[in-house]
Structure 1
């Protein structure tokens, strides 16, 4: 361990004195990991909706096979908390750089391997088993990715622009929506539906190998963050970061788990329920749905840019309170608009929903980094991020169908609005963090 600490300090001393001189490279390292993470989400959910029932679950029939295919998306949420604790531990003990190289490799390789996975027709029951195994690996890695990427950027960024710089991992997620949409759109335009279902769906997964190579090259050139190196040199590291976090800041951990819940609700409702509803129920042309997806990625990107910069000017807390407040109001309007059944209404529902999600995601990288102490920061940020993902990303889409079927869209909108309002209250209960030193 001492040798590893010396390596961390050596890395830090070899870095430029002014963090701003290397911020573009640091920002690119933070950007690429979440680009791969959410690119996988986009292409996987699309493939699950269109072909996975036939490719991996044919014995279950179309309806049950589709449910099983979407169920494999939820495997990631089960694995994420494990990843946040596992990689949070290593990130707080060994450093941000080494941990982020591992998470990137695990995420990228598991995504590429889905693209070469044999079908059930070829290897029987082993096909869905291998698919689920790859999803578990991807989920564990994703559980440690965002926290490390956010800290890599925030712990290098100049304090007065920490909000803007720390938004780069979230911007990677927004850019992935555009990248996945364009990739799927080009694939669908250049081949027939039969060809796409036979083997064309594999191409977007294989394309992620390029993203992996670029991201790995960037991250291998990184140095350790000066904030973590200073913590090691002055006080050492926490023996068990997860226990240290709960013992030191239990209130902040509990409240922090709710900060991003509306953003995840907005994101995952769109990429699972809303898109599937547009294709299957509204019978919208697949090309039009993909064009809306690309547009929604652009507005999400813009929302993150705007809110992250506003957080540097007015504070993280006010921006999050207003953004989550908008989500509360929009939750009541979303489903009546969507269920009006037109292409225009569908486009408005998707674009406004993801714009509000982007406004929430913008300040989160800086806010969470400033909220927790360095000795367990990686673990604490990862726990909050992934708990928000479960509460906002896994549960609402899971319950949307049954609640809407039993009580109608207005009822589910009210449930979602209540969840968003709880997040507003949690943001109010937390203190402002802008201006805090990350060395504290």
Structure 2
């Protein structure tokens, strides 16, 4: 195969592809690269998320009148990354078109790692006053901005190499990165919370996971660059399947598809933070069991989530992705009626909430990513899927911990059931409007 100059590639990237023409990258290698990439992103994500419950309310927002208000302030800063992410997508799509996918990924992951590592050195409010809040907000926006550039197209490449009768299976593989990343972050925090004094944990123990996140980003960068520089990736760029387009041009061409795609995964994205970040805040603030013990219960839940994500791939290949997503949304709607009572029923109920919740999340989340990306025409799939994902996370998950804690602490925990069911309704309506989501065997892939 002759490698020609192609959009979204520098001459150096084309030279690397030419050097490795005789070393094809198998779907298995692509899958490993995708899982490593997603795991590293979610590890960063959850290290910050857990610290927003266990650390920042006391370190940065110690001026708040009570712990609940401090945690709400912390969750407000948590949401900034989801607002910055679409901005990052706009900027990094331009970098992709001008300087190449490898350059884009390198810059994005260096900013992501730098922002994460910088948080490890964050001084508290007692030391620098409101500058502590400003620095935390700046670093959090840096994380979100960088995540907008971390969209590499590898999951699309994996889907394009999937057999027609295994597309549901291949679609779930990138989703495994979320529970794996969460489990790793929870185990690290759980270890330090359980084995350090409260003073030592708040002084230095919480900082260690942020250094680990930076190291994992470096490993993930090399794993992803290896595939981006492969012949297979170059072939899809030549075919314009993974080509970066201007955001406004993509919106003009596929605005309806972007909007629809943002609402399809809302059920699973609303559920996402209600079994990870929010319940830890509820246990920490209102009791039931120790935060350290609860973190390890959440690790067990993440293991269950891995198993049901895998199950979602098998089911989707049998009943179709649309059917799988509808079943997941309906189960989440049913769970919304019992979830508040479980979480408020002491340790046994809280443990059941986590295990059942992660199991349900996996069934839905396993097929949620890029579930309507195949509706984008050739040349727009990469950019359209990236921007759709940004909006879906912003609408479905960005403000979930803040809204859930605000509703539960002011009006009663039963209101989180209403939040869950609203996400399920959005998913079911979006699926009903999507005529193209027939079966997974008819889909052209997922992201």
The alignment's TM-score, normalised by the length of structure 1, stands at 0.87
1:85 aligns with 2:55: no
The residue aligned with 2:348 is 344
* Number of the residue aligned with 1:265: 270
1:242-262: CA deviation from partner (whole Å, max 9, x where unpaired): 233323333322211112111
Aligned partner of 2:337 in structure 1 is 332
1:203 alignment partner in structure 2 = 208
- 2:272–2:397 CA contact under 8 A, matched in 1: yes
113-122 vs 286-295, which moves further: 113-122
- The equivalent of 2:441 in structure 1 is 434
Q: Residue 79 of structure 2 aligns to a residue in which SS?
A: helix
1:170 aligns with 2:184: no
Q: Residue 412 of structure 1: CA displacement?
A: 4.1
Give, in angstroms, the shift of residue 13 of structure 1: 5.5
Which region of structure 1 is more displaced relative to structure 2, 86-95 or 217-226?
86-95
Distance in 1, matches of 2:173 and 2:242, equals 27
CA 1:54–1:235: 2 relative to 1, 3 Å: closer
Moved more, 141-150 or 174-183: 141-150
CA RMSD across the alignment:
3.1
Residue in 2 aligned with 1:33? 37
> Aligned to 2:122, which of 103, 117, 123?
117
Instruction: State the Cα distance separating 1:416 from its structure 2 match.
Output: 2.8
Change (3 A) 1:91 1:160: farther
Q: Which residues of 2 match residues 128-147 of structure 1 at below 5 A?
A: 128-145=133-150
| Alignment deviations for residues 333-362 of structure 1 (CA, whole Å, 9 cap, x no partner) | 21122222x211101112222222222221
- After TM superposition, the structure 1 stretch with the greater mean CA deviation from structure 2, 92-101 or 242-251, is 92-101
Structure 1's 50 and 437: CA in aligned 2 closer, same or farther, altered over 3 A?
A: closer
Cα 1:434–1:249 change in 2 (3 A) is farther
Distance in 1 separating the partners of 2:160 and 2:17: 12
Pair 1:417 & 2:421 matched: yes
Post-superposition offset of 1:238: 7.2
Deviation at 1:202, TM superposition (A): 0.7
Alignment of 1:242 onto 2:247 = yes
**CA spacing shift, 1:162–1:98, aligned 2, 3 Å:** farther
Q: What SS does the corresponding residue of 2:196 show, helix, strand or coil?
A: coil
Give the whole-Å Cα distance in 1 for the aligned partners of 2:365 and 2:228.
26
Partner of residue 290, structure 1? 295
In 2, are the aligned partners of 1:263 and 1:357 still within 8 Å (CA)?
Answer: yes
In structure 1, stretches of 5+ residues that fail to align are: none
* Residue 158 of structure 1, CA deviation: 4.3
Matched, 1:255 2:260: yes
Q: Which has the higher helix share?
A: 1
Unaligned runs of 5+ in 2: none
Matched, 1:127 2:132: yes
